[in-house]
Amino acid sequence: MIEQPEEIRQAFISGRCDAYTNDASSLASFRASQGKEGEQYLLLPEIISKEPLGAVVRKGDWRWFDVVRWSHFAMVTAEELGITSKNIDSFMASTNPDVQRLLGKSGDFGRAMGLDNDWAVRIIRQVGNFEESWERNITPMGVPRGINALWTKGGLQYAPPIR
């Protein structure tokens, strides 16, 4: 019986087993860690189990939890609105209330979290929207966006309104 993840990977690499399953990001990370050798492994596109992954924070640190959670929501909202790290300045004069709230031009959402109201602007400028981050960090590992696409594109990603 194999119990530890590293033992499973070694059994797979040595040919003791023909396949192994895990969440797509873990499999992609494993393949990428193998360098050129990783090209011999195929990631199957089928999703055979749902294992949601997300950011983790220390239990009881609710303020930090809110910042982390709303940072993700800001990136998803930016993607929904078509705001990227490259075009964000062109949205600064937008009269769209959703854009104004996201960019801190109206409301005090940032201050309510203990941040400046332009908190989302800084995230989008430095990290990009959710799609930009996915394309930069996950796509190169061979993981398709799939269910991680926006809800408007057949995925599960959506964010509550920033209010």
Give me the mean pLDDT over the 58-82 stretch: 97
Determine the Cα–Cα distance for residues 42 and 40; give it in Å rounded to an integer: 7
Task: Give residue-wise pLDDT tens across range 107-117.
Answer: 999 999 999 99
Three-class SS state of 133: helix
Query: How many percent of the chain have pLDDT more than 70?
Result: 100
- Pair of tokens at residue 73: 């929501």
Determine the Cα–Cα distance for residues 29 and 38; give it in Å rounded to an integer: 10
Q: 35 burial class (0-12, 13-18, 19+ CB within 10 angstroms)?
A: exposed
